[in-house]
Structure 1
Amino acid sequence: MSVGKSGGKSKVAGARDLRVKVKKAGKLKHSSQLWLERQLNDPYVKRARELGHRSRAAFKLEEMDDRYKFLKPGQKLIDLGCAPGGWCQIAAKRIGLEQGKGRIVGIDLLPVDPIPGVELIEMDFMDEAAPALLTQRLGGRADGVMSDMAANTTGHKKTDHLKIIGLAEAALEFAHTILAPGGFFLAKLFQGGESAALLAELKRDFVTVRNVKPAASRPDSSELYVLATGYRRKPGEAGSLSIGSSQDDSA
């Protein structure tokens, strides 16, 4: 495989088209060639490298928190599907982890390079032992449960949507066992018609529920996030606590 720059004319007179082109070589599939070309030309990927972020996903969390202010100093957080660590990096800065404030425990079935102050677990979250281990490592109630988990896509839209809904539902079930009153839940979804039951549960148990499409998400992707804040499940329900009054601010 070789990588070069196209020298074709741009729409701006006298300018060069600096878009990186990937020449097919060896056994590289066309789909892989397109993916690599997209990565090389993605401005968020380039910016992530410049800033030392683990992934472009860091900008998604950064943007959502800039808008809705759910990350606060001293929080205790769980990050599900944390590889390669972009969300942990942003969250660590915003809760003051380097100053000894708060705690973050992340889990992924893939290995994640160490992040100062972050407790990392290499395990599939769907392993039946994972929830208890996460709870033990966090050492108490969580102020937030974040999930950027996504199963490998099949290319079949409905199947992929059902798989990610299943992961979000599992993340929410775990959140009910560990969230502190007023806590938040953030999870990745795909746009589709099978999320109604999940959203109804969130609206029942949280003060505010929003669907968010960060600018850092690729425009051609059906990816979106659901952000639920103000956990208010009543005492005794699934072992959870709650406070707050009802409000629905869906977007």
Structure 2
Amino acid sequence: MSDEKPKKPKKGRIDTGLKVRVKSARGRTASSARWLERQLNDPYVVKAKKEGWRSRAAFKIIEINEKCHLLKPGQRVVDLGAAPGGWSQVVAQKTGSTADRTLVVGIDYLDLDPIPGVTLLKKDFLDEDAPEQLMAALGGHRPDIVLSDMAAPTTGHHKTDYLRTMHLCEVAAMFALDVLAPGGAFVAKVFRGGTETELLAKLKQHFATVAHVKPPSSRQESVELYLVAKGFKGRQNAAETDTVDEG
């Protein structure tokens, strides 16, 4: 009998002990087989199905919230790039959003099954009238939080993917600066390489703190990070000196 002890999962991560192998088959490419194998062996995929979340991405916003203390009952939240709905599910639960008092609005150009307590708009956020429709869906109330898990479809070319996703982040940030309630927060996906200097400077001007966060459920091989800006001061009274935490 071997005396070798089993390896422990890294801190903050879960391990189901699954080790499923997938072979290439007719109609399945090697890359699709690798993707399927990764999904079947991903403990967050397993846990998401068990707990009823739409996707493993639900754990990203759960972990970001645990670290940054963003979501509170009664808050109004906009979820940009909401499909398949994991983030909206979590947010509706944390804010206490219901069909009778809907506090969460999600938008995506992809189809989305209904989510209790969430108003869903099937629309491209980049459409000119998207911001107006989002605000109308909130009854004209300013949101307390703007979330964006948007990312452009990857091309495999890092520079191209980085620029396209940063563009989405910038558009989301400009929307947040226009509509957030005082004291509000903004969360958006970026790619490793950090946030563009000009955008980061603008966010530092209008928020009390800005941080880059890598939640444990974000795959280690992934280049994604999340930008978290808290304490929105409004566009008129922004201070010149603020803090940024790259951790």
Q: Same fold (TM over 0.5)?
A: yes
- C-alpha distance after superposition, 1:199-225 (max 9, x if no partner): 111111100001000000001001100
Q: For the structure 1 residues 212 and 22, does the alpha-carbon distance in structure 2 shift closer, same or farther, using more than 3 Å as the test?
A: same
**What SS does structure 2 have at the residue aligned with 1:228?**
strand
- C-alpha distance after superposition, 1:163-218 (max 9, x if no partner): 00000001011112210111100000001166222211111110000100000000
Say if 2:245 is the partner of 1:250. Answer: yes
Q: Distance in 2 between matches of 1:114 and 1:194?
A: 33
Amino acid at match of 1:61: I
Aligned partners of 1:95 and 1:102 also within 8 Å: no
Q: For the structure 1 residues 104 and 245, does the alpha-carbon distance in structure 2 shift closer, same or farther, using more than 3 Å as the test?
A: farther
1:124 is matched with 124
Q: Distance in 2 between matches of 1:12 and 1:27?
A: 40
Shift of 1:78: 0.4
- C-alpha distance after superposition, 1:50-95 (max 9, x if no partner): 0000011100100111111111110111000000110011111111
Shift of 1:122: 0.6
Q: For the structure 1 residues 216 and 117, does the alpha-carbon distance in structure 2 shift closer, same or farther, using more than 3 Å as the test?
A: same
Amino acid at match of 1:24: S
2:135 is matched with 135
Amino acid at match of 1:116: P
Runs of 4+ aligned residues of structure 1 deviating over 6 Å after TM superposition are: none
Q: For the structure 1 residues 108 and 130, does the alpha-carbon distance in structure 2 shift closer, same or farther, using more than 3 Å as the test?
A: same
Shift of 1:12: 6.5
1:220 is matched with 221
Q: Distance in 1 between matches of 2:242 and 2:201?
A: 13
Amino acid at match of 2:243: D
1:155 is matched with 156
Q: Distance in 2 between matches of 1:116 and 1:47?
A: 21
Shift of 1:29: 1.6
1:5 is matched with none
Q: Distance in 1 between matches of 2:88 and 2:28?
A: 33
Shift of 1:233: 2.7
C-alpha RMSD over aligned residues? 2.1
Identity %: 50
Say if 2:80 is the partner of 1:85. Answer: no
Shift of 1:244: 8.2
2:39 is matched with 39
Q: For the structure 1 residues 128 and 59, does the alpha-carbon distance in structure 2 shift closer, same or farther, using more than 3 Å as the test?
A: same
Which ranges in structure 2 are unaligned for 5 or more consecutive residues? 7-16
Equivalences for 1:1-251 in 2 at 5 Å?
Answer: 18-98=18-98, 103-139=103-139, 140-192=141-193, 195-235=196-236, 247-251=242-246
**What SS does structure 2 have at the residue aligned with 1:142?**
coil
**What SS does structure 2 have at the residue aligned with 1:120?**
strand
Q: Distance in 1 between matches of 2:173 and 2:18?
A: 44
Shift of 1:27: 2.5
Q: For the structure 1 residues 112 and 36, does the alpha-carbon distance in structure 2 shift closer, same or farther, using more than 3 Å as the test?
A: same
Q: For the structure 1 residues 62 and 193, does the alpha-carbon distance in structure 2 shift closer, same or farther, using more than 3 Å as the test?
A: closer
Q: Distance in 1 between matches of 2:174 and 2:68?
A: 23
Normalized against structure 2, the TM-score is what?
0.88
Which ranges in structure 1 are unaligned for 5 or more consecutive residues? 1-10, 236-241
- C-alpha distance after superposition, 1:121-140 (max 9, x if no partner): 01111111111111111121
Q: For the structure 1 residues 138 and 178, does the alpha-carbon distance in structure 2 shift closer, same or farther, using more than 3 Å as the test?
A: same
